[in-house]
Structure 1
Amino acid sequence: MSPYRIATIDGDGIGPEVCQSAARILSEACGSALLDFVRCDGGAAHYARTGQVLPDDTFALCRDSAAILHGAAGLPGVTYPDGTEVGNDLHLQLRFRLDLYANVRPVRLWQGVKSPLAGWQAGQIDYVIVRENTEGLYASRGGGINLRGEVATDTIVVTRKGVERVARFSFGLSRKRQGAPRDGKRRVTVCDKANILRSYAFFRAVCEEVAREHEDVEIDYAYADAMTVHLVKRPDFYDVIVAENMFGDIISDLGAATIGGMGLSPSAELGEHHGLFQGAHGSAPDIAGQNLASPLATILSGTLMLHWLSERHGDERLAVAARRIETAVGEVLAHGDAVPRDLGGTASCTEVTEAVLRRMARALD
């Protein structure tokens, strides 16, 4: 079998450090012949040099590869004339052009990591937030109106097709999981503002229709403002949460804060035929090039990539490799082998990478 080609965009800031760390670990777990990482250009720095954030050849490679692994993008002061950030446009273009409609953000408290929420232990916080990724308020990107510098408007867009497919994705995902930590129930929580806005009432109604096709999975509801309370007070109640684009964006970062921060927050952006995988953190240009960044979010995003590829291609080798990496990361965190700065330690990007590799090698021995 030919190797799986992975379009690899290092990006800006700490992106090259964390992306190359993840690629090294993924290669070790899978064997050198299984994955073929092909580096390609893109990001804010590339835009500053060439005027293109996503070059045509990079897009073609991403479109035609098995998956996309991305580090991070964005630099201070590198903006478009309308003031929006250039860096974000890299994955936004890929998201919309490749129709990556489901943004998957696992929220898991690992053993050895102290939650900012007092008293919560590993295993008690373990849910997934699924954002509808191509519609909602962010569909106005580049299309909003700024009238004479006096009035600015953006429009939320919610379609039946968009909600149906992300709802089906969410119910299907719940079926693959073990249920909520509190009671073991498979549950999809719809996060919206259906009590105020018709667009969100429509979102909820379509989710209810899809729920009737999945009677083995419970449906639950929470308004977005109440959800910010629930994720702090009772995170163990949740299994899968589905939300419109902007609300999903906001509560995903809140969820990440409860399990140690963005440095432990992987993400996958999935469509029918393509997948983009990156840590949910930013490019952190203030520590770029200093070997200070934690690569764990990007490494864990890589395991999401392997699971996705395994399911798509029926290749169990990829799933085995993903579980091997996850076990090694868990052991590094549980035993404090290399604690990165964002978790209160001093370990460098290189030291965290080496610690994961040692745990992987020890497991084989």
Structure 2
Amino acid sequence: MSDPLKLLCLEGDGIGPEIMAATLAVLQAASPALNREVKIERRAIGFAALETEGSTIPKAVVEAAKTADGVILGPVSHNSYPPVDQGGRNPSGVLRKELELFANRRPARTWPGLDAPSRKAFDLVVMRENLEGFYADRNMFAGGGEFMPEPDVALAFRKVTRSASMDIARAGFELAASRPSKHVTVIHKANVMRMTDGLFLDCTRAVAEEYSSVTFDEMLVDAAAAHLVRDPSRFDVLITTNMFGDILSDLASELAGGLGLAGSLNFGAHHAVAQAQHGSAPDIAGKDMANPVSLILSTEMLLRHLGEIAAADLIRASVCTALALPETRTRDLHGALGTRDFTEVLTNLVEESAI
């Protein structure tokens, strides 16, 4: 008998508990399509952990993440946490660094029947380098990447390494090779940041030579933002550095219908973390207003990453069916349903398809 699939679930803050409950209900509904039994372990992070253990992400949680097959991470309110020396660490940044999750895969696509700001249908993926760049909480071995030498001067270091650039480039080209369009666009600003983005660009060009089946072009980040607004369908897989990827993926997801639909998967050589692309939305927490699709689709991506293709396909198809009609959408998508009712609709769709 196969070993169980061990998933660590971290609810987080704000709407985290609500959308995690919805996600686990959908996962349970899809269980007949899974190859292995799923074992769920829950641990507290965020304000709940800070109150009881003095840290927003205790060491025991990090160790549990290292032994799990995958992690489902709810949104966190890290901007509201106390300073690091008072226990306020960003759980997302900590897990990315501790688990060496060098890639952040962020798909954005339009859905049949659902109006979106983009006037053209599209299906793209932003492959974002996840461990360096301007992200000061994870780009140094010790200490942060920002400092103030005097009260009126703040400085930030941007770190770009050959090894990390090669890793994200290979992950992006490997993904593109498996997609129908087989097209990579590398996003950069090497005309200004000639050394850092120049190194990144050199690495992606070197990897491109290994994938003869994939077409390859390059685009400045400001031009990429403009072209995304004009015609996102021209893109397939975008490979880029940390901050550019963070910004462009949010833009692409809004063009597709909103961050409530934006799945995200962080992964490295040995670990993977599903994480909704949006924040914790404390203003609607507990009001049955949250759209759980982002975390559900993130978990679908995690299942696919772990080889559970049938269950992942089942969840994605059921989400597509639910989004097609206003009466089975959440209110943020001009539908009629709250979180709980939408979850019931979606779990019923999954269960019916799983029979």
**Match runs of 1:137-156 below 5 Å:** 137-139=134-136, 141=138, 142-156=144-158
Equivalent position of 1:132 in the other structure: 129
Equivalent position of 2:81 in the other structure: 78
Q: Could you tell me whether the CA contact under 8 Å between 1:307 and 1:322 is conserved in 2? A: yes
> Quick check: 1:205 aligned with 2:202?
yes
CA distance in 2, matches of 1:42, 1:34: 25
Shift of 1:82: 9.4
Across the two proteins, how many residue pairs are aligned to each other?
Answer: 346
Structure 1 vs Structure 2 CA RMSD: 1.9
Give TM-score scaled by structure 1 length: 0.90
1:181-224 deviation line (CA, Å, top 9, x unaligned): xxxxx111111101111211111111001101111101111111
CA distance in 1, matches of 2:287, 2:230: 37
Please tell me the residue identity of whatever aligns with 1:30: S
Shift of 1:363: 2.4
Equivalent position of 1:343 in the other structure: 333
Q: Secondary structure at the match of 1:289?
A: coil
Give TM-score scaled by structure 2 length: 0.93
Equivalent position of 2:46 in the other structure: 43
> Quick check: 1:157 aligned with 2:159?
yes
> Quick check: 1:188 aligned with 2:184?
yes
Please tell me the residue identity of whatever aligns with 2:11: D
Please tell me the residue identity of whatever aligns with 2:228: L
> Quick check: 1:248 aligned with 2:245?
yes
**Match runs of 1:1-365 below 5 Å:** 1-31=2-32, 34-74=37-77, 77-80=80-83, 86=88, 89-117=90-118, 119-120=119-120, 124-139=121-136, 141=138, 142-179=144-181, 186-197=182-193, 198-310=195-307, 318-364=308-354
Compared CA separation, residues 44 and 213, structure 1 to 2 (3 A) = same
Percent identity between the aligned chains? 34
Shift of 1:81: 6.6
1:116-149 deviation line (CA, Å, top 9, x unaligned): 12x32xxx21010011000111156533111232
Compared CA separation, residues 345 and 75, structure 1 to 2 (3 A) = farther
Q: Secondary structure at the match of 2:115?
A: coil
Shift of 1:49: 4.5
Q: Could you tell me whether the CA contact under 8 Å between 1:188 and 1:239 is conserved in 2? A: yes
CA distance in 2, matches of 1:335, 1:131: 32
Unaligned runs of 5+ in 1: 180-185, 311-317
CA distance in 2, matches of 1:262, 1:286: 16
Larger mean CA deviation between 45-54 and 209-218 belongs to 45-54
Q: Could you tell me whether the CA contact under 8 Å between 1:190 and 1:204 is conserved in 2? A: yes
Q: Secondary structure at the match of 2:227?
A: helix
1:18-41 deviation line (CA, Å, top 9, x unaligned): 012111111220249621111011
Q: Could you tell me whether the CA contact under 8 Å between 2:314 and 2:354 is conserved in 1? A: no
Q: Could you tell me whether the CA contact under 8 Å between 1:140 and 1:154 is conserved in 2? A: no
1:329-358 deviation line (CA, Å, top 9, x unaligned): 111111334211221223111111111112
Please tell me the residue identity of whatever aligns with 1:336: P
